[in-house]
A and B are shown apart, each in its own frame.
Chain A
Amino acid sequence: MGFRRAGLGEAQVAGALITVVCLVLVLIIALPLWTLLSKSVQNVDGQFVGLANFAAYVRSPTLVASLANSVMVAGLATAIVIPLAFVYAYALTRSRMPLKGLFAAAALLPIFAPSLMAALALIYVFGNQGILKSWMMGASLYGPVGIVAAEALYSFPHALLILTTALSLADGRLREAADALGTTRRRIFWTITLPGARYGLVSAAFVVFTLVITDFGVPKVIGGQFDVLATDAYRQVVGQQNFPMGAVVGLVLLIPAVAAFFVDRRAQKRQTALLSARATPYFPKRDRQRDWSLFVFTALVGSAIVATYGVAVWGSFVRYWPYNLSLTLNNYDFANVEPTGWEGYVNSLKLAGLTAVIGTAFVFVGAYLIEKLIVFPRLRGFAHFLAMLPMAVPGLVLGLGYVFFFNASWNPLNVLYGTLIVMVINTVAHYYTVAHITALTSLKQIDREFEAVSASLKVPFWRTFSRVTAPICMPAILDIAVYLFVNAMTTVSAVIFLYGSSTKLASIAIVHMDEAGAVASAAAMGTVIMATAIGVKLLHVALNALVFGRLQRWRVR
């Protein structure tokens, strides 16, 4: 790079770069949220009305009922998912049962599909035309039952990931000490295993609760007349163009998410403190009874997940469910039911590709500047704060903020509204925190003196970044890219407010096709998304195994 030739010192370049990062984060995160906040205290004409909107909200029985509905559904889903995911995670980390890798992969399946795919699958199985409708014993799937079941499916892998991490952080020496003291298995579980995973459980519960309460796709597809906050927000903004009330609903949605954010941060701090640097990893011993009962459990849960999604995929190839089960590709001819046809899928690919490329580059460079520079500590702290913010902001809320910010007449950037660019920006912002943490984690593992050594050798930091830091972090960079790609493919909640006539996405097309009654085509589009996301993930795995084996020769000792 030619900064030197341009006569710029390292400190100036660093200052300029970190300033740019801060400005961009303010633009894509802070300002939309600020607009949302200010919208909630304005009337439709934009005049300041104080808390009048909130008063109106509390007085509206339907809106308050939605709040109760949302809390109930999210609470139930959490109560179902957490114990199941805990036992599943326990089986994956603390047993010697066979096929662990397969079960881990099976449980992650929902991550690769939009949330509403779970709802579509349940409709195929238990819906009005469902093959197992009789199992419902007359109860209707369309409502709280369907929402809770679909959300449980959808949020299962998220809880599982957190709990597997929590359970794998176990100090083997504690177990050995307990065994040496002749402690019973039951007592070991209650006094060592469970307390060790306590913070993971708290964290997972909040994540699931937040995911469910802010999810839009599932209640839209399977909720029937059962209103929840997320569908309210959509109706207020898109249906009734009542932006202030939409903003209020968005802020209500923000409460559990912000609470979850702080609980999670506290939990994580304590979780790491639990595990000293001298802890030794725990290797479970063989135990036939435990291993087989856990195997049966995981097999049941794992195959239930795969089977549900499998039914949706199957349904997408079926001519007329459930009366004519002969296979066809007709449902994949989207133009029959949706004016944009396959264009939505192309748009989704574009969005996911751009989000992965632009997002990864920006997130990683930003994390590098925040973590490795020694100049401008205040600016770097501010940038880190902004980067952590999206974690506490549900996609739906961020999407609302974007509507208000990028649609505002005073904003010169409003030309971007409805374009793919604004959706890319929004998706990067939406998933910023996890990507940022991934980058930070891998950067923190690098010797913190690399920059110091470079400075002593009079090599500017950007050269060390490109020659050493980025190559070393390549696996993490790929992780970030795949994470952003998969989420951009599957997200509905934020972009539902932002698409334009020529930029409709595949995941949004699913909502529209389902609304139009074309469930099979909706399932077909879901299948295409899922296949793409899984394909990218497999490519990632293969790339890690093949290419990095050669490029990262230095890792081999």
Chain B
Amino acid sequence: MTVADTIASSFLRVRGLGKSFGGFRALKDVDLDVSRGEFVCFLGPSGCGKTTLLRAIAGLDPQDEGTIHIGGRDVSKAPPSERDFGIVFQSYALFPNLTVAKNVGYGLVNRSRPRREIDARVAELLALVGLAEQGAKFPGQLSGGQQQRVALARALATSPGLLLLDEPLSALDAKVRVRLRDEMRALQQRLGVTTIMVTHDQEEALAMADRIVVMNHGVIEQVGTPEEIYRRPATAFVADFVGHMTFLDAIVTGPRSVKVGALDFIVAEDAGAPVGSKVKLALRPEAVQTRAVAADAANRFDARVGDLAFLGAFCRAQLAPVEPGAPVIAADISANAMRDLGVATGDVRPVAFPPEALRVFAAAAS
């Protein structure tokens, strides 16, 4: 595929986007392509620029520099009303004095279509989000989850090419949130509407998105599928932000080996730093192998089990390799493994750190 093809196939194209609030640079030279029908999540801590980017795409807070194309049309300077999108806010912004049906039909009435057609479309949308019987109620009479679905139905009413979701689930209870995110994902796939969702919840992003855009300090740190982001974080920030990650101070000892204290680790990919330089070795607690560790496994050490924190489905164990001068390393041991192996504080057990699960980052980053 040539570059021209990529551009042609991308439904949303953002180039060189920059935005400042006073002296604070909220977005710095952001480039992004989203394909038609894709579900993309902007993920990052608060203040990372994810909402600013979404609002710039919507035209609500216009960018200072850069261009935005939606559906092949340059909308960089267009007001929101001339861009093709529907939006759901964290607050839902439902009109409290209008009924649910009037809210959903709000954008339809303006398009001077026959009354009957509007009513049918509203009924169809309410059925779509599972609120067929609720049309006559006021938003204040609905639960948070129901309000969220009304907001979604209203945003979809005009069949926009682009659906923007600004933290749509964060005002809900944990249980409702999980149910609704599955419903929303299913709905999005059924309708095939290109969707961008802003979230600070990595679990939400991992569960819903086709691709995740991880942002920090106004720049995109990494764009990739949930699996790529999780397994192969491009930067120490992404590694730290998505999932749990243990960082160990290490020194490069060869093209594919590093030393942490007295322990030698083999890594699967080139450390990308000269021998002798300081780096960070990163690994996820759940990647630590604790059962059926082969005698010749790479990065195999004997470790003493320290504190065990019970976390429900698994235990987080602090493992102290018996080698003197070795750091303590966190490992997640599943409830099954705990039971089968009878793990207890004070045990000394063989553990292994699979080379392909280890990542090396420059030492400067946290």
Contact = CB atoms under 8 A, between A and B. Distances in A.
A458 B110 contact: yes
B58 A452 contact: yes
B272 interface: no
Contacts of B107: 456-459
A301 interface: no
B78 to A, nearest CB: 10
A472 B96 contact: yes
Given A460-B81, A557-B141, 4 more contacts: A456-B83, A457-B110, A458-B110, A554-B97
B93 interface: yes
A471 interface: yes
- Closest 8 pairs (CB-CB, A-B): A457-B107, A455-B80, A449-B93, A554-B138, A468-B95, A449-B89, A447-B93, A456-B87
Nearest to A553: B138
Interface in A440-481: 447, 449-450, 452-460, 463-464, 467-468, 471-472
Contacts of A463: 110
Contacts of A449: 89, 91, 93
A467 B139 CA distance: 16
Contacts of A10: 79, 81
Given A468-B98, A557-B140, A557-B141, A455 B93 contact: no
Interface in B142-198: 154-155, 157-158, 160, 164
B102 to A, nearest CB: 9
A454 B96 CA distance: 14
Interface of B: 58-61, 79-81, 83, 85-87, 89, 91, 93, 95-98, 106-107, 110-111, 138-141, 154-155, 157-158, 160, 164
Contacts of B160: 456
Residues of B contacting A: mostly: loop
Contacts of A456: 58, 80-81, 83, 85-87, 107, 155, 160, 164
Nearest to B142: A557
A555 interface: yes
25 contacts: A9-B79, A10-B79, A449-B91, A449-B93, A450-B95, A453-B89, A453-B154, A456-B80, A456-B85, A456-B160, A457-B110, A458-B110, A458-B158, A459-B110, A460-B110, A467-B98, A468-B98, A472-B96, A472-B97, A554-B96, A554-B98, A554-B138, A554-B139, A554-B140, A555-B140
A554 B137 CA distance: 9
Contacts of A450: 93, 95
A455 B95 contact: no
Residues of A contacting B: mostly: helix
Given A10-B79, A472-B96, A554-B96, A455 B60 contact: yes
A275 B155 CA distance: 37
Interface of A: 9-11, 374, 447, 449-450, 452-460, 463-464, 467-468, 471-472, 552-557
Contacts of B141: 557
A555 B140 CA distance: 7
A458 B154 CA distance: 12
A260 B59 CA distance: 41
Contacts of B157: 457
Contacts of A458: 81, 107, 110-111, 158
Contacts of A468: 95, 97-98
Contacts of B95: 450, 464, 467-468
A468 B87 CA distance: 18
Given A450-B93, A553-B138, A455 B98 contact: no
Given A449-B93, A468-B98, A472-B97, A374 B60 contact: yes
A458 B110 CA distance: 8
B158 A457 contact: yes
Nearest to B160: A456
Nearest to A474: B97
A459 B106 contact: yes
A552 B59 CA distance: 33
A459 B158 CA distance: 11
Contacts of B89: 447, 449, 452-453
Contacts of A554: 96-98, 138-140
Contact of A452 (B93, B106, B140, B154): B93
Contact of A552 (B60, B79, B97): B97
Contacts of B154: 453, 457
Q: Which of B58, B89, B139, B141 has the most CB of A within 10 A?
A: B89
A191 to B, nearest CB: 36
A555 B164 CA distance: 29
Nearest to A459: B110
B155 to A, nearest CB: 7
A360 B248 CA distance: 66
A472 B96 CA distance: 8
A138 to B, nearest CB: 64
Contacts of B60: 374, 452, 455
A403 to B, nearest CB: 44
A449 B95 CA distance: 10
Contacts of B139: 554
A186 to B, nearest CB: 45
Nearest to B162: A456
Contacts of B81: 10, 455-456, 458, 460
Contacts of A374: 60-61
B97 A453 contact: no
B170 to A, nearest CB: 15
B360 to A, nearest CB: 44
A383 to B, nearest CB: 21
A80 to B, nearest CB: 46
B91 A11 contact: no
B158 A452 contact: no
Nearest to A554: B138
Nearest to A14: B79
